[in-house]
């Protein structure tokens, strides 16, 4: 029997959630408790380390200079932005209860 789109979407969400979990340890928060400005929320939450916040709030030129000066590694910068993308995906596609680190 063929799956309907609800089953396919559910399977895809489960795969996505498992992949996101590899980037951060989630905790639950009610979607109704979220502010309109999610940028401020995630930076105040425990989503990111102090270094990741600094990376994510830096200008591209500053990031490149810090990589050049070996203050940050390119892998560290990439992982910070991948984690930010994972958190954003989770926030955007959330239902009633979010899993946010």
Q: What SS3 class is residue 63? A: helix
pTM: 0.70
A 10 A CB-CB count for 4 gives: 9
Q: Provide mean pLDDT across the span 12-22.
A: 78
* The pLDDT value given to residue 101: 41
Average pLDDT, the chain: 80
DSSP secondary structure of 37-53? -HHHHHHHTTSS-HHHH
Q: Provide mean pLDDT across the span 30-43.
A: 74
Q: What are 64-91's pLDDT values in tens digits?
A: 999 999 999 999 999 999 888 877 777 7
A 10 A CB-CB count for 73 gives: 11
Q: Where along the chain do its domains lie?
A: 5-100
Q: Distance (Å, rounded) from C-alpha 78 to C-alpha 80?
A: 5
Q: Provide mean pLDDT across the span 19-35.
A: 68
Q: Distance (Å, rounded) from C-alpha 89 to C-alpha 51?
A: 21
* The pLDDT value given to residue 84: 85
> Which residues are registered as beta bridge partners of 27?
100
* The pLDDT value given to residue 97: 43
Looking at residue 34, what DSSP letter applies? Answer: -
pLDDT category at 6 given cuts 50, 70, 90 is: confident
């Amino acid at each position: 029997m063929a799956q309907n789109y609800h089953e396919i979407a559910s399977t895809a969400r489960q795969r996505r959630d498992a992949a996101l979990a590899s980037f951060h340890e989630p905790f639950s928060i009610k979607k109704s408790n979220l502010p309109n400005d999610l940028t401020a929320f995630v930076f105040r939450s425990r989503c990111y380390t102090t270094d990741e916040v600094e990376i994510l709030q830096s200008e591209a030129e500053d990031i490149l200079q810090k990589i050049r000066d070996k203050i940050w590694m390119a892998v560290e910068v990439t992982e910070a932005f991948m984690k930010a993308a994972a958190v954003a995906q989770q926030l955007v596609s959330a239902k009633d209860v979010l899993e946010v680190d």
